[in-house]
Chain A
Amino acid sequence: MIPPLSRFAAHPLLRGQLPVLAGLLPPLGWVLATAGAGIVGRIAVIGAVALFWQVLFARVRGQGFGLEGLAMAVLVAMLVPETAPLWQLVLGGTFGMVIGLLIFGGHGRNLLHPAVVTLAFLMFSFAAEGYRATPEIALFTLAPALVLLALSGQANWRILVGAVIGLGGLGWLQGDAGTLELLRTGPFWLVLLFLAADPVASAATNWGRLAHGLLFGVLVALFLQAGTALSAMIFAVLMTAIFAPLLDQAVIALNAGWRARRHG
Chain B
Amino acid sequence: MTVRMAGGFKPWFGPEPAYGAEIALLPETVALLGEDTPHLRPAFAVEQGARVAAGETLFADRRRPELRHVAPVAGTVTEIRRGPRRSFDRLVIAVAEGEARSFAVPAQPERESVVALMIEAGLWPGLRTRPFDRVPHPGQVPEALFVTAIDTRPLAPDPAAIIAPRADWFAGGLAALRLLSGGRTYLCPAAGASLPAVAGVTAAAFAGSHPAGLVGTHIHHLHPVGAGGTVWHVGYQEVLALGHLLATGRLWSRRLVGLAGDGLRQPALVETVPGADLHELCRGRLVEGPVRLLSGSPIDGRIGRYLARGHAQVSVLRHAPIPERRSWLGLAADWLGRGSGAVLPNALHERAAPPGILPIPFLRAIGAGDVETARRLGALELAEEDLALLTHADGGTADFGRMLRRVLDELEAAQ
Contacts and interface: CB of A to CB of B under 8 A. Distances in A.
A105 B343 CA distance: 12
A199 interface: yes
Contacts of A106: 339-340, 342
A248 B361 contact: yes
Interface residues of B, number: 38
Contacts of B364: 204
Contact of B377 (A4, A152, A252): A252
Nearest to A101: B340
Interface string B383-401: 0000000001101000000
Interface in B89-137: none
B348 A105 contact: no
B370 to A, nearest CB: 12
Contacts of A9: 9, 348, 393
Contacts of B339: 16, 64-66, 106-108
Contacts of B373: 252
A109 interface: yes
Given A9-B9, A15-B395, A260 B341 contact: no
Contacts of B356: 255, 258-259
Given A1-B15, A9-B348, A252-B377, A108 B340 contact: yes
B361 A107 contact: no
A3 interface: yes
A200 B377 contact: no
Chain B facing A: main interface SS:
loop
Contacts of B228: 263-264
A107 B67 CA distance: 46
B369 interface: no
A66 B339 CA distance: 5
B347 A109 contact: no
A16 B9 contact: no
A167 to B, nearest CB: 22
A200 B345 contact: yes
A12 interface: yes
Contacts of A260: 227
Contact of A6 (B11, B344, B350): B11
Contacts of B360: 204-205
Nearest to A260: B227
B342 A154 contact: no
Given A153-B346, A205-B360, A263 B337 contact: no
Contacts of A179: none
Interface string A192-206: 000000011000111
B388 to A, nearest CB: 12
Interface in B282-339: 335-339
Given A15-B395, A204-B360, A66 B338 contact: yes
Interface in A186-224: 199-200, 204-206
Nearest to B375: A256
A137 B346 CA distance: 27
A37 interface: no
Given A153-B346, A255-B358, A107 B378 contact: no
Contacts of B344: 15-16, 107-108, 199-200
B411 to A, nearest CB: 14
Contact of B395 (A10, A66, A251): A10
Contact size range, A = 35 or more
Contacts of B358: 204-205, 251-252, 255
Interface in A81-124: 105-109
A59 interface: no
A263 B336 contact: no
Interface in A1-47: 1, 3-4, 6-7, 9-10, 12, 15-16
A63 interface: yes
B224 interface: yes
Interface in B209-229: 224-229
Nearest to B397: A12
Nearest to B209: A6
B341 A108 contact: yes
B10 interface: yes
A259 B376 contact: yes
A256 B9 CA distance: 25
Contacts of A153: 346-348
B96 to A, nearest CB: 44
Contact of A105 (B9, B11, B342): B342
B343 A15 contact: no
Given A153-B346, A259-B378, A205 B361 contact: yes
Interface in A231-263: 248, 251-252, 255-256, 258-260, 262-263
A156 interface: yes
A148 interface: no
Considering residues B15, B338, B339, which has the most beta carbons from chain A within 10 angstroms of its beta carbon? B339
A3 B12 contact: yes
A67 interface: yes
Contacts of B229: 263-264
B224 to A, nearest CB: 5
Contact of B227 (A108, A248, A264): A264
Contacts of A15: 344, 346, 395
Contacts of B393: 9-10
Given A10-B393, A16-B344, A252-B361, 4 more contacts: A3-B12, A63-B338, A63-B341, A260-B227
15 contacts: A6-B9, A9-B348, A10-B11, A10-B348, A15-B346, A64-B341, A65-B339, A106-B340, A106-B342, A154-B347, A204-B358, A248-B361, A251-B358, A262-B224, A263-B229
Interface of A: 1, 3-4, 6-7, 9-10, 12, 15-16, 63-67, 105-109, 152-154, 156-157, 199-200, 204-206, 248, 251-252, 255-256, 258-260, 262-264
